[in-house]
Amino acid sequence: MKVLYSWLKDFVDVADGPAEVGRRLSLRGLALEGLEPVGAGEMPPGAAPVADDAVLDFDVTANRPDCLSVVGIAREIATVYGLPLRVPATDAPGYLRLAGLAPVDRATFGVRLDAPDLCPRFAGAAAAVRVGPSPAWMQRRLQALGVRPISNIVDITNYVMLELGQPMHAFDEARLSGDIVVRQARSGETIVTLDGRTRAVQPPQLLVTDTTRAVAVGGVMGGLDSEVTEGTTRIVFEAAWWHPRSIRATSKALGLKTEASTRFERGADPTLQAVAAARACALLELIGAGTADGTIVDVVAAPHAPRVVALTHAHVEGLLGMPVPPAEVARILTSLGFGVAADGPGAWQVEVPGWRPDVARPQDLIEEVGRHHGFEHLPATFPPVHPAPPPSDPRIARDAVARRAMLAMGYSETISFAFVEAAAAEPFAGADGLVTLANPLSETFAVMRPSVLPGVVDAVSHNRRHGRRDVRVFEIATAFGPRGERRMLAAAWTGAAAGDHWSGHRRDVDLFDLTGSLEVLAGAYGVALALDTDAPPYLVPGRAARVVRQGTAVGACGLLDPAVAERRGIPRADAADVYLLELDLDAIAAAAPPGATRVEPLPRFPSAVRDVSLLVDDTLSAATVRDTIRRAAPPTLVSLREFDRYQGKGVPAGKVSVSLRLTFRADDRTLTDDDVASAMGAVIEAARAALGAEQR
């Protein structure tokens, strides 16, 4: 809301200049968004010129329709500075005068309200007018607030709206036939609004009509053929109250947002209609634009019943946590226009003025007291600590384990959007399908990611396109499916397996770097994970696997299909393979045992290490060889690991030489050479018998 400093001074004698006023209001709830000095200009007759005049632009929050008016902001200033507020009155000086209008049941026109629940009050006052331009001071004020001057009559309606917050309308009385009726639109009805557009209206939208046709979309915009023109000689000023819900719905349905609809949909003052009409009539006479008839037809279907809210001093200080003297509570509320009546010691009955639809509860009043007493007076204290809140979300500590492991393995952490484009999501979609958005911001963000892999693939793509060949990244985030949200770990690794070093040659990442990462993660969580060759479709068969725990898939691992990589913009030219890893952390956590509760004692007896090289068929899996050995070995075999695998010179075609390191240990004695030799003999014999393995 823009407001002219000199206009504010009609209502409050503030001594501070506009910048200081803006600064002080910003700390009391009206944030100053802009300040434009404009210098002295024309003033209404009788008002003193203001040399340092300026336009202040305040950000008015949605709950404060009263501050969409000059007098509303002036009221805040008066409260901040402890100054009295001047309001228009019948005995006020010329530029603040209200006309005295005698209430009548009908004047040259009558008023009927056929939708009293949505338009419970309608005031009309007629006048004889001479249409022409409005005076310079009025035009200056309207322009400063962003409203274009049109004619003296229209300018008066806008002036009253900006000054008091009550939107008004002026009809050419000659173009009205019969009484004014406020009713719901009929199906198929149309009206040409002031902007020249024909609008189809329908129930329950509200119209102002005469006996023949619609003359205005109530509270939103007037009709074209009853508008005030140069030839108009008599007018009817309208000041009505429209229900916010009705105006919001109508404005939205018609796609028509006006200064009037904005004020009505937030909630105008339901007590202000006769005052606004009297103000318009006084201004008409002040600027010599005509003469009011001196009567008002003010139809009130349901009088506004002011809310009364009980407030206690203990509640004020109890909610704010700072002392505010009772006299200060009363001063602030009174200054803001609340009716404050003592109700025993430290208690009040507070009547809420019509312009404060936002205030319904004591907490609302406490906010008024708090902000005007000043949040700067709040002490900084701590809430009482209760020692044992319920446990925190176990995912936090759980995810931190994976994060630490991945960082230690050289993966950098990325964060990507939960929304992806359908093309990015589709390769990774599960059997359940995708979760799509009904109203995406754009096609780029049309679906919720079914997996976190699209994010890390795009991270690879971005870095590749910016000259970075070696990329090792991970993300821990949520994937979305029709059956809910899952917390996933996704990783991508491409390019070098380790940084270049002068002492040796580089090696590019391969699948075993990824399965190794998986082994580290399985170890970190204390779960057993297996690999199943049935790989998901976005990975290259034979170079990929599903990660399985007890028969259930919990992830995937392998080489990204180059076609998918290319579609995500990863340049094919540098031909570096992209390896991916994804793990369902929710599934892993469900399986993970609680952390170790005691430490294993260190072995008391030494272990014996033996290496053996076996020549086996190269189609035989390492797991088969290991399992065969494990079955044949005595329980003293504590570890078994491949340390070399060789094919080439000296090894027949179709065979592979596998070197294994076996560690034996007993808990109760030192193993003798004979013990170990017999164990090795059993192992080698079993490999020979079961696998046809030859010792090399």
Partner 1 sequence: MPTLDELTSRIAEQDAAFSAALAELDAALPAARAHALDALKVAWTGRKSGRIADLMALLPSLPAADRKVFGQRVNALKQRVEAALADRETAVAATRRPAGAVDLTLPGRRPQLGHRHPLSLVREEVQQIFTLGYQVLEGPECEDDWHNFEALNMHEEHPARDMQDTLYLASPVTAAPRAPWARPRRRGPRAAAAHPAPHAHLGDADPLHGAARSPVPWCDRPGLPARQPRPHAPPMFHRCEGLVVGKGITLAHLKGTLLAMAEALFGAGTSVRFRPSFFPYTEPSAEVDVRCIRCAGAGCAVCKQTGWLEILGSGMVHPAVFEAVGYDPDEVTGFAFGMGIERVALLKWDVGDIRLFYENDLRFLEQFSL
Minimum Å distance from CB 546 to partner 1? 22
Distance between CA atoms of residues 558 and 68, nearest Å = 62
91 vs 393, beta carbon nearer partner 1: 393
531, 534, 535, 541: CA torsion to nearest 10: 110
Q: Angle at which helices 152-164 and 273-286 pack, to 10 degrees? A: 130
Distance between CA atoms of residues 205 and 303, nearest Å = 22
Contact between 471 and partner 1 by CB under 8 A: the answer reads yes
44 vs 455, beta carbon nearer partner 1: 455
Eight-state DSSP code of residue 130: -
Q: Which of 89, 174, 498, 677 binds partner 1 (CB under 8 A)?
A: 498
Contact between 653 and partner 1 by CB under 8 A: the answer reads no
Q: Evaluate the CA torsion angle 222, 224, 226, 228 in order and state its sign.
A: positive
Distance between CA atoms of residues 353 and 299, nearest Å = 20
Among residue numbers 318 through 347, which ones bind partner 1 (CB under 8 A)? 318-322
**Structure-block tokens of residue 674:** 């004979």
Stretch that binds partner 1, among 138-146, 166-174, 469-477, 515-523 (CB under 8 A): 469-477
Stretch that binds partner 1, among 215-223, 402-410, 609-617, 675-683 (CB under 8 A): 402-410
Contact between 459 and partner 1 by CB under 8 A: the answer reads yes
Run of H or E residues at 438:
none
Minimum Å distance from CB 685 to partner 1? 42
Q: Evaluate the CA torsion angle 678, 679, 685, 686 in order and state its sign.
A: positive
Distance between CA atoms of residues 211 and 207, nearest Å = 12
Among residue numbers 410 through 429, which ones bind partner 1 (CB under 8 A)? 410-419
Contact between 499 and partner 1 by CB under 8 A: the answer reads yes
Among residue numbers 149 through 168, which ones bind partner 1 (CB under 8 A)? none
Contact between 441 and partner 1 by CB under 8 A: the answer reads yes
Contact between 431 and partner 1 by CB under 8 A: the answer reads no
Distance between CA atoms of residues 237 and 284, nearest Å = 11
400 vs 689, beta carbon nearer partner 1: 400
Minimum Å distance from CB 76 to partner 1? 11
Q: Which of 197, 468, 630, 669 binds partner 1 (CB under 8 A)?
A: 468
Minimum Å distance from CB 473 to partner 1? 7
Q: Which of 51, 102, 385, 653 binds partner 1 (CB under 8 A)?
A: 385
385 vs 573, beta carbon nearer partner 1: 385
Q: Which residues of 176-199 are buried (b: 16+ CB within 10 A; e: fewer)?
A: beeebbbbbbeeebebebbeeeeb
Stretch that binds partner 1, among 5-13, 62-70, 211-219, 332-340 (CB under 8 A): 62-70
478 vs 659, beta carbon nearer partner 1: 478
**Structure-block tokens of residue 55:** 């336009």
187 vs 503, beta carbon nearer partner 1: 503
215 vs 425, beta carbon nearer partner 1: 425
Q: Give the neighbor-by-neighbor strand order of the sheet with 214-217.
A: 111-113, 180-184, 206-209, 214-217, 221-222
Cα 604 to its chain centre, rounded Å, is 61
Distance between CA atoms of residues 629 and 688, nearest Å = 10
Minimum Å distance from CB 446 to partner 1? 10
Q: Which of 89, 407, 528, 623 binds partner 1 (CB under 8 A)?
A: 407
Q: Are strands 347-351 and 308-312 parallel, antiparallel or unpaired?
A: antiparallel
- The DSSP bridge partners found for residue 32 are 58
How many of the other CB atoms lie within 10 Å of CB of 558? Answer: 25
Stretch that binds partner 1, among 172-180, 480-488, 551-559, 608-616 (CB under 8 A): 480-488
Distance between CA atoms of residues 139 and 447, nearest Å = 52
Contact between 63 and partner 1 by CB under 8 A: the answer reads yes
Run of H or E residues at 125:
strand 121-129
Q: Which of 188, 345, 389, 594 binds partner 1 (CB under 8 A)?
A: 389
**Structure-block tokens of residue 432:** 């359940």
How many of the other CB atoms lie within 10 Å of CB of 542? Answer: 11
Among residue numbers 254 through 273, which ones bind partner 1 (CB under 8 A)? none
DSSP string covering 242-310, please?
Answer: --HHHHHHHHHHHT---HHHHHHHH---TT-HHHHHHHHHHHHHHTTSEEE-SEEEEEESS-----EEE
**Closest-CA residue to 354 (of 245, 274, 246):** 274
Q: Which of 26, 202, 349, 607 binds partner 1 (CB under 8 A)?
A: 26
Minimum Å distance from CB 493 to partner 1? 11
> Which residues does 214 contact at the CB level (< 8 Å), separation at least 6?
185, 189, 191, 201, 207, 208, 223
Number of residues engaging partner 1 in binding (CB under 8 A): 95
Q: Which residue has the tokens 């779960």?
A: 527
Distance between CA atoms of residues 434 and 267, nearest Å = 43
159 vs 493, beta carbon nearer partner 1: 493
- Given a contact cutoff of 8 angstroms between Cβ atoms, the answer to whether 558 and 539 are in contact is yes
Among residue numbers 343 through 382, which ones bind partner 1 (CB under 8 A)? 361, 363-364, 366-367, 370-371, 375-376, 378-382
Minimum Å distance from CB 66 to partner 1? 13
**Structure-block tokens of residue 62:** 């949605």
211 vs 444, beta carbon nearer partner 1: 444
Minimum Å distance from CB 58 to partner 1? 13
Among residue numbers 502 through 521, which ones bind partner 1 (CB under 8 A)? 502-503
**Closest-CA residue to 549 (of 591, 517, 511, 513):** 591
Eight-state DSSP code of residue 373: H
Q: Mask: binding to partner 1, 584-623, rule CB under 8 A, as x and -?
A: --x-------------------------------------
Among residue numbers 274 through 313, which ones bind partner 1 (CB under 8 A)? none
193 vs 416, beta carbon nearer partner 1: 416
Stretch that binds partner 1, among 59-67, 89-97, 146-154, 678-686 (CB under 8 A): 59-67
Q: Which of 212, 439, 619, 621 binds partner 1 (CB under 8 A)?
A: 439
Contact between 64 and partner 1 by CB under 8 A: the answer reads yes
Q: Which of 73, 160, 185, 435 binds partner 1 (CB under 8 A)?
A: 435
Q: List strand residue ranges (DSSP E) for 323-393, in order.
A: 339-342, 347-351
Stretch that binds partner 1, among 334-342, 395-403, 593-601, 634-642 (CB under 8 A): 395-403
**Structure-block tokens of residue 130:** 């001479």
Minimum Å distance from CB 480 to partner 1? 7
Contact between 583 and partner 1 by CB under 8 A: the answer reads no
Amino acid (1-letter code) at residue 219 = G
Contact between 33 and partner 1 by CB under 8 A: the answer reads no
φ, ψ of residue 81 in degrees (nearest 5): -95, -5
Contact between 245 and partner 1 by CB under 8 A: the answer reads yes
Stretch that binds partner 1, among 111-119, 286-294, 451-459, 680-688 (CB under 8 A): 451-459
> Which residues does 622 contact at the CB level (< 8 Å), separation at least 6?
642, 645, 658
User: Three-state SS string across 233-256, please?
Assistant: CEEEEEEEECCHHHHHHHHHHHCC
Q: Which of 18, 22, 29, 450 binds partner 1 (CB under 8 A)?
A: 29
Among residue numbers 616 through 635, which ones bind partner 1 (CB under 8 A)? none
Contact between 391 and partner 1 by CB under 8 A: the answer reads yes
503 vs 619, beta carbon nearer partner 1: 503
- Given a contact cutoff of 8 angstroms between Cβ atoms, the answer to whether 185 and 177 are in contact is no
273 vs 463, beta carbon nearer partner 1: 463
- The DSSP bridge partners found for residue 31 are 59
